[in-house]
């Protein structure tokens, strides 16, 4: 019986999906291919292209928006993550119509998602916090910062917990969604991107600009 139980245990270990690394800090000195993949897709007014994502070598991950285009870049974590703090320090491009974001996403149009999105719309900066459950937008809240998110690096954090999802900017709690029955129920990839959605109707970049990230972290709860 003991041998049989051991065999079942070994089989279960093989069949279970690999567990995500509990916590990590990426200081963006190189592209960490153990953590991330670069995405390629077309949506909205342009596309994200893997060739537009490159580390500077000085601790900055550059997501390039080439002059004359509406193209950007995206990275996607190889593992999926559940409850914990997802955080990044980044500087957004001073471009109307492009969204710069850190978010958790299960991967399809009918799946779970938690977003922080920063964008310039009709001359006004906005930071939007959004929660989807099984593809349905359950909640969204926006703030209008009095400071310029493109002027320097700022800290953005999703604190995803079973009882509530809290959104922090520079250590300040800006918004909170606390309806557990409407929260995501699946582990999700961590993603960062800069892209042009059709609804913002932004013009092509007049000169080459960058969405710049100098740290990304996840702390398991």
How many other CB atoms are there within 10 angstroms of residue 25's CB atom?
10
Dig out the tokens for 125 from the structure.
């900066």
Is the pLDDT reported for residue 8 higher than 70?
Answer: no
**pLDDT above 80: residue 53:** yes
pLDDT at site 117: 98
**Res. 125: pLDDT tops 70:** yes
Tell me the per-residue pLDDT of 68-117, one tens digit each, with 9 for 90 and over.
Answer: 999 999 999 999 999 999 999 999 999 999 999 999 999 988 999 999 99
pLDDT per residue over 126-168, tens digit each? 999 999 999 999 999 999 999 999 999 999 999 999 999 999 9
H or E, element range at 131: strand 124-133
The predicted pLDDT at position 21 comes to 52
Share of the chain above pLDDT 70, in %: 90
pLDDT tens digits, 27-51: 999 999 999 999 999 999 999 999 9
Pairwise CA distance, residues 164 & 167, whole Å: 10
Tokens 């009882």 belong to residue = 163
The predicted model scores a pTM of 0.89
Residue 201, Cα to own-chain centre: how many angstroms?
Answer: 22
Using the predicted structure, report yes or no on whether residue 14 has a pLDDT greater than 90.
no
SS3 category, 43? strand
Predicted confidence at residue 22, as pLDDT, reads 80
**How do the domains of the chain map onto residue ranges?**
21-62+74-220
Q: How far is CA 121 from CA 31, 103, 137, in A?
A: 31, 20, 21
- Report the topology of domain 21-62+74-220: Jelly Rolls (2.60.120)
What pLDDT is attached to residue 57? 85
């Amino acid at each position: 019986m003991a041998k049989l139980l051991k065999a079942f245990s070994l089989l279960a270990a093989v069949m279970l999906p690999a567990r995500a690394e509990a916590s990590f800090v990426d200081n963006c000195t190189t592209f960490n291919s153990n953590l991330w993949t670069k995405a390629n897709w077309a949506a909205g007014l342009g596309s994200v292209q893997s060739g537009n994502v490159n580390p500077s070598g000085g601790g900055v991950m550059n997501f390039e928006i080439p002059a004359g285009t509406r193209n950007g870049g995206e990275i996607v974590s190889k593992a999926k993550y559940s409850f914990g703090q997802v955080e990044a320090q980044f500087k957004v491009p001073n471009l109307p119509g492009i969204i710069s974001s850190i978010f958790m996403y299960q991967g399809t149009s009918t799946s779970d998602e938690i977003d922080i999105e920063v964008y310039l719309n009709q001359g006004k900066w906005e930071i939007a916090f959004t929660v989807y459950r099984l593809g349905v937008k359950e909640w969204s809240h926006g703030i209008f910062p009095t400071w310029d998110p493109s002027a320097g690096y700022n800290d953005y954090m999703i604190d995803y917990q079973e009882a509530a999802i809290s959104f922090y900017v520079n250590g300040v709690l800006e918004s909170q969604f606390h309806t557990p029955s409407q929260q995501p129920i699946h582990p999700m990839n961590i993603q960062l991107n800069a892209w042009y959605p059709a609804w913002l109707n932004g013009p092509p970049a007049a000169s080459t600009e960058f969405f710049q990230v100098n740290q990304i972290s996840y702390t398991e709860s």
